[in-house]
Amino acid sequence: MRAVIRGIGSYLPEHIMHNAEMAERVETSDEWIRERTGIHQRHIAAEGQFTSDLGFEAAKAALADADMTADDLDLIIVATSTPDLTFPSTATIIQEKLGMNHGAAFDIQAVCSGFIYGTHVVNALLRSGGAKRALLIGAETFSRILDWEDRGTCVLFGDGAGAIVVEAVEDTKDGILHTFIRSDGRHRDMLYVDGGPSRTQTVGHLRMLGNQVFKHAVTDISQVMRDCAEQAGVEIADIDWFVPHQANQRILNAVAKKLKLRPGQVVSTVAQHANTSAASVPLAMNAAVKDGRIKRGDLVMLEAFGGGFTWGAALLRY
Ligand code: ACO
């Protein structure tokens, strides 16, 4: 039994905030942001537009791509750190928006690694018979938890959503081949939100020690990709495409150099989307599928790193 990707879709809010607009709010410049991060712009959700709205749009696009409807699903998982509400889960809100009142829906929280953690969970459930057809969504409105006076963090993030429809299929060589997830809670103070229901009864703002996160990200991402490939019995050199979490172009370049990846093999959307946390991997993958780079049968590795720290990789034959 394999978990095969049947459809993929994404959604970005209409408003594009260019670096120049950012420079009107905090003391920064287009030049600094581009040079240090590769980011040119980010999409920002409209007032009254919530994570579930973004996720719902991405879900509809993925279902249309799979030629399925919500009736065909029996599971919805949403990876997010910016849920509409503390509860109920954003997954159940999207389930209701899709008009689906069967099956089950729940959220998972692994910050920027959420989509990889979600892939791990979906793969395990589909292979074990726990579900037949699942919708996995990464959706975020990080603009709502940014400190818009902290130039060290507010320039880095954007809003968006991406989704895949995954089906359990017997006797196939396609689908998710292997996933490997990791975490280390000792580093939680390097990247966190300083509020929450139990501790402060507030939502809080994102806080980050950027250059320390950078160093851990490069080391841990490189290692988890090597481990995931080795556990799957695949050489890094045999992988067609790499779809990384889109945090910073310099992180992408450093990892590509360490693993000796070929130029053009690494899908990058960080310039257009900035860091959309759990949405960044499906947003980037959808871009490369829709423009014809990633084709059916290609070997693709997804990876991410985020708060916790959490990190992981997923290898699949698209
Ligand atoms: N505009 C202008 N100057 C700035 C800005 C800004 N937006 N932000 C910081 N600076 C200044 C700092 O104040 C500092 O000035 P100083 O030397 O006078 O003190 C100088 O730039 C250098 O600051 P550093 O933090 O050392 O800059 P660095 O080269 O490390 O770049 C950055 C900062 C872009 C945040 C980088 O560290 C980074 O990308 N880290 C990884 C962050 C990341 O990927 N996070 C997400 C991963 S997990 C997740 O997605 C949730």
- The string over 59-85, giving b where at least 16 C-beta atoms fall within 10 Å of a residue's C-beta and e elsewhere, is bbbbbebbebebebbbbbbbbbbbbbe
What percentage of the chain has pLDDT greater than the value 90? 100
For the chain, the average pLDDT equals 98
> What's the mean pLDDT in 42-50?
98
In this predicted structure, the answer to whether residue 90 has a pLDDT above a threshold of 90 is: yes
In this predicted structure, the answer to whether residue 263 has a pLDDT above a threshold of 90 is: no
In this predicted structure, the answer to whether residue 207 has a pLDDT above a threshold of 90 is: yes
Ligand 1 atom with the smallest distance to the CA of 213 is 41
Q: Ligand 1: does its nearest atom lie under 6 Å from the Cβ of 210?
A: yes
Q: Ligand 1: does its nearest atom lie under 6 Å from the Cβ of 111?
A: yes
C-alpha atoms less than 13 angstroms from C-alpha of 282 in its C-beta half-sphere? 39
> What's the mean pLDDT in 280-301?
98
Q: Could you list the active site residues?
A: 112, 245, 275
Instruction: Show the domains of the chain with their CATH numbers.
Output: 2-169 (3.40.47.10), 175-317 (3.40.47.10)
What gap in Å lies between CA 83 and CA 79, rounded to an integer?
Answer: 9
What pLDDT does 237 receive?
Answer: 97
Concatenated DSSP letters of 36-77: HH---EEEEPPTT--HHHHHHHHHHHHHHHHT--GGG-SEEE
> What's the mean pLDDT in 251-270?
96
Q: How far is the CA of 304 from the centre of ligand 1 (A)?
A: 19
pTM score, whole prediction: 0.97
What gap in Å lies between CA 89 and CA 257, rounded to an integer?
Answer: 39
Provide the 8-state DSSP code for 86: S
Provide the CA 97 distance to its chain's centre, in angstroms: 22
β partners of residue 76: 105, 135
The first and second tokens of residue 133, run together, are 């057809």
Q: How confident is the model at residue 151 (pLDDT cuts 50, 70, 90)?
A: very high
What pLDDT does 75 receive?
Answer: 98
Q: Ligand 1: does its nearest atom lie under 6 Å from the Cβ of 253?
A: no
- Residue closest via CA to ligand 1's atom 48 equals 306
Q: How far is the CA of 99 from the centre of ligand 1 (A)?
A: 43
In this predicted structure, the answer to whether residue 313 has a pLDDT above a threshold of 90 is: yes
What gap in Å lies between CA 133 and CA 64, rounded to an integer?
Answer: 14
For residue range 22-32, list pLDDT tens digits in order. Answer: 999 999 999 99
